[in-house]
A and B are shown apart, each in its own frame.
Chain A
Amino acid sequence: MSSETEELERLATREYKYGFVTDIEQDAAPPGINEDIVRFISAKKNEPEWLLEWRLKAFRNWKKMDDPTRRPAPQRWARVDYPEINYDEVVCYSAPKKGGGLASLDEVDPELLKTYEKLGIPLEEQKMLAGVNVAVDAVFDSVSVATTFKQKLADDGVIFGSFSEAVQEHPELVRKYLGTVVPYNDNFFAALNSAVFSDGSFCYIPKGVRCPMELSTYFRINAMNTGQFERTLIVADEGSSVSYLEGCTAPQRDENQLHAAVVELVALDNARIKYSTIQNWYPGNADGVGGIYNFVTKRGACRGVSSKISWTQVETGSAITWKYPSCILQGDNSVGEFYSVAVTSGRQQADTGTKMWHIGKNTSSTVVSKGISAQNGQNTYRGGIKVLKNASNARNFTQCDSMLIGDQCGAHTFPYIDVRNSTSQVEHEASTSKIGEDQIFYCNQRGISTEDAVSMIVNGFCKEVLAELPMEFAVEATKLLGISLEGSVG
């Protein structure tokens, strides 16, 4: 082993910057997942009867379903491997005692405000940097603790806030769209979420409104043994547009924690939704101890003509990532996009990709996936392109690139293509490259350290995807990629 490699190995035991725990009084449900818990959560949130019924239906379905990642091959879904989760030990609901729900910022526990400041997300509007044009909904464990710029958004008719609040204030909208993109029995994890989801964000952009600022939700898992089951629903009415970002972090713990979220997007005629994710859950340590199990169902429906949904994700965290942000291209001329960077180092495993269902005529989709594997990381791209019979002139372009750093990691690509219309056109391009020692030496010879070189080369590799992120977040993502891969070249 060269001295350079040794130094890099040392650096590889990087610090997870967001691994701290907030000491705060919590109000939690007893562990386990059963009908009583479902009723407990629903009652906590003072939910209408129909929503409780919906949760119970989901719960009863979930009990009958099996975990798709645990089936024997070849029925097994996803190339991930982890010990069985004991659902009797999972705490579904945990909320800070003070604040949460409908509290104004003044009532929020100062400890919480400090937590978000420490994470770089100040919640007090006056503290935000001039020129920052982002409204934030902060979700702490199971509840939303604060939403910024609500009033300013309301002036334009934009509804943005916690899911629980939306259930109280706009039940007709929630009821109309909830579960219409991801049904309660869609899959094991989505059914689980539907039964016990505790909070999340809700967003509605009225007809013809271009949302005046970026919307974002910052998810933080804090309590021990707590699963986070949040649900996000974004509806863009005719001719409206919105850009939305989610960020995620969690404390550093030796126990694995479950995160099973559902995100539903609905775009009506000529509406546009851009959804960006920077996922930085605690990935576990170098030996694979601890970390978040991230099992997420994200799906958008381009219901209206000429609507567009664009997913961009930068996945650097979690012990296991299992997610396929997808688009149902129902409206004629609708457009679906998926831009992804997934990094696995240490013992991280990611099985991620997208599905594009072409249903309407002249629908088009673009998929650009960049997978980076380092150390013992395993990175899988799984993509499904489906062109139905009536989807005349559908078009898809998929580009799937993998980069390997070191010789202990793996990159895997599983594209599924199913075309039932002869006028459609589907393209798939794939490449695999190894970060070259010669590239690193070239940078070193110009005075650039190996760490900076890796970061630069990886960012270059991901350029097309990073370019899709809103400006403020592209900078964060660029830094994050550097940190995630620190010391992984051997």
Chain B
Amino acid sequence: MLEVKNLHASVEGTEILRGVNLKVNAGEIHAIMGPNGSGKSTLAQVLAGHEAYDVTDGQVLYEGEDLLELKAEERAQAGLFLAFQYPVEIPGVNSSYFLRTALNSIRKARGQEELDAMDFLAQAKEKMKLVEMDASFINRSVNEGFSGGEKKRHEIYQMAVLEPRLAIMDETDSGLDIDALRIVSNGVNALRSSDNATIVVTHYQRLLNYIVPDFVHVLLKGRIVKSGGKELAMELEAKGYDWIRKEFADAEAVSA
């Protein structure tokens, strides 16, 4: 579904991603872990098409197509979803209207019929249950005055409505208390199918107790330096990142 080859990206002239390779198949959950500043969020933003990042080298294939050629909204229309680390407030625009516009933009791009307000509402209410969101949310302005936990649940609710093929969750666990973590994770698990795939970007192994990954990758200084199964996450939790840093430094020294 997704194939990232030797991806280099920089922001304002500073190189953040320095050759990322990653392959994600339908039905899989991949976790990307790594210390602060390793480039995890940059990878998520670059895949979603944020214009602040310049891709300087490499290739990304999504469903066999060149993802980097597509504008951000075209990527979304093609089924790519980013759950934001810091969801943005849009004052005065109610959540329901926003999400219906989003869904209809996507449906339109795919040649599907647009949903009217009633049909949308019926569908949306079902999805709200998934993340145990109160119905009053849909009449509130997008993310305005939401608590940190509410914002994250709102992201997963949007994901549930938009039904992406590839979901990227950027530190969705940060700022969540244990109950919210469980709710968000249950939502993600319920949406899981053999047709879609999820990339979970996180600092901590904690989330991975709820959303069990098939693969765990460690991102360090803009490269994936180690990959493994879910046990790798456990190891990181127990030992920290230092041993990988050391291993990686040694490897770099050898190759230099």
CB of A64 within 8 A of chain B? no
> Which of A442, A452, A461 makes the CB contact (< 8 A) with B105?
A452
Task: Decide if B87 touches A442 in the complex (CB within 8 Å).
Answer: yes
From B51, B92, B97, give the contact of A2 (CB < 8 A): B51
Q: B50: which A residues are within 8 A, CB to CB?
A: 441
Task: Check if B76 sits within 8 Å of A447, measured CB to CB.
Answer: yes
Residue A429 CB within 8 A of the other chain: no
Q: Quick one: which of A3, A439, A443, A457 has the most chain B CB within 10 A?
A: A443
Q: Once the chains are docked, how many angstroms separate the CA of A3 from the CA of B102?
A: 22
Interfacial residues of chain A within 431-458, with CB under 8 A of chain B in the complex: 436-439, 441-450, 452, 456-457
Q: CB-defined interface of B67-94 with A at 8 Å, one 1/0 digit per residue? A: 0000111011100011010011111110
Judge whether B48 is part of the interface by a CB distance below 8 angstroms: yes
Q: Does A462 contact B (CB under 8 A)?
A: yes
> Given known contacts A441-B72, A456-B98, A460-B141, is B90 in contact with A447 (CB within 8 Å)?
no
Q: DSSP class of A's interface residues: helix, strand, loop or mixed?
A: helix
In the complex, the answer to whether B88 meets A447 with C-beta atoms within 8 Å is no
In this complex, which of A438, A439, A446 has the most chain B Cβ atoms within 10 angstroms of its Cβ? A446
Distance to closest chain A CB from B205 (angstroms):
27
Given A2-B51, A441-B50, A460-B141, check contact A446 B90 (CB 8 Å): no
Q: Which A residues touch B81, using CB under 8 A?
A: 445
CB < 8 Å neighbour of A449 from B103, B105, B158: B105
Least CB distance, B68 to chain A, in whole angstroms: 12
Most buried by A among B49, B77, B92, B162: B92
* Interface residue from A446, A452, A462, A463 paired with B158 (Cβ < 8 Å): A446
Known: A439-B88, A456-B98. A448 touches B105 (CB 8 A): yes
Question: B76 to A462, Cβ gap below 8 A?
Answer: no
The answer to whether A444 and B71 touch across the interface, beta carbons within 8 angstroms, is: yes
CB distance from A359 to the nearest CB of B (A): 34
Complex-state Cα separation, A450 to B71, whole angstroms: 10
Tell me if B101 is interfacial: C-beta within 8 Å of chain A. Answer: yes
Q: Return chain B residues, CB-CB under 8 Å to A436.
A: 88
Interface range for B: 20 to 34
Q: Is B109 an interface residue (CB 8 A)?
A: yes
* CB-CB nearest in chain A for B82: A445
Which of B49, B84, B101 lies in contact with A448, CB distance below 8 A?
A: B101
A35 at the interface (CB under 8 A from B): no
| Interchain nearest-CB distance for A490 vs B (Å) | 12
Cα-based distance from A3 to B68 in the complex (angstroms): 13
- Within the complex, the shortest CB–CB distance from B181 to chain A, in Å, comes to 23
Kindly identify which residue among B49, B87, B97, B101 contacts A444, using a CB–CB cutoff of 8 Å. B49
In the assembled complex, the Cα of A343 lies from the Cα of B223 at a distance in Å of 47
Given A460-B93, A463-B92; A445-B106 close (CB under 8 Å) = no
- When A444-B72, A445-B72 are in contact, do A457 and B90 touch as well, CB less than 8 Å? yes
With A4-B51, A449-B105, A456-B98: A444-B93 Cβ-Cβ less than 8 Å: no
Q: Is A69 an interface residue (CB 8 A)?
A: no
> How distant is the Cα of A439 from the Cα of B88 in the complex, in angstroms?
6
Q: Interface size class for chain A? A: 20 to 34
Q: B72: nearest residue on chain A (CB-CB)?
A: A444
Q: A390 at interface (Cβ–Cβ under 8 A)?
A: no
Write the nearest CB–CB distance from A253 to chain B, whole angstroms. 36
Q: In the complex, A412 Cα to B179 Cα: how many Å? A: 47
Bound complex: CA A2 to CA B54 (Å): 10
Q: In the complex, A442→B50 CA distance in Å?
A: 9
Residues of A within 8 A of B82 (CB): 445
Instruction: Evaluate contact between A449 and B73: CB separation under 8 angstroms.
Output: yes
> B92 near A442 (CB under 8 angstroms)?
no
B98-113 vs A, Cβ < 8 Å mask (1 yes, 0 no): 1101110110010000
CA distance A35 to B26 in the complex (A): 83
Which residues from B are CB-within-8-Å of A460? 90-93, 141
Given A444-B72, A445-B72, A456 and B51 contact (CB-CB distance below 8 Å)? no
User: Within 8 Å CB of B87, what residues of A?
Assistant: 442
Chain A residues whose C-beta falls within 8 Å of the C-beta of B48 in the assembled complex: 445
Identify B101's interface contact among A4, A450, A452, CB under 8 A. A452
Q: Please name all residues of chain A whose beta carbon is closer than 8 Å to the beta carbon of B84 when the two chains form the complex.
A: 442, 445
Q: State in angstroms the CA–CA spacing of A3 and B141 once bound together.
A: 30
Q: Give A412 Cβ to nearest chain B Cβ, in Å.
A: 22
Q: Is the CB of A447 within 8 A of B51?
A: no
- Please name the residue on chain A nearest to B74 by beta carbon: A447
Q: Which residues of A contact B72 (CB under 8 A)?
A: 441, 444-445
Can you list 26 A-B contacts (CB < 8 A)? A2-B51, A437-B52, A439-B88, A439-B90, A441-B72, A442-B87, A444-B72, A444-B76, A445-B48, A445-B49, A445-B82, A446-B98, A446-B99, A446-B105, A446-B162, A447-B73, A447-B76, A447-B106, A448-B101, A448-B102, A456-B93, A456-B97, A456-B98, A457-B90, A459-B93, A461-B91
Given contacts A444-B71, A444-B72, 9 further A-B contacts (CB under 8 A): A2-B51, A445-B84, A452-B101, A456-B90, A459-B92, A460-B91, A460-B92, A461-B91, A464-B92
Closest 8 CB pairs of A and B: A460-B92, A460-B93, A446-B102, A444-B72, A447-B76, A463-B92, A447-B106, A442-B88
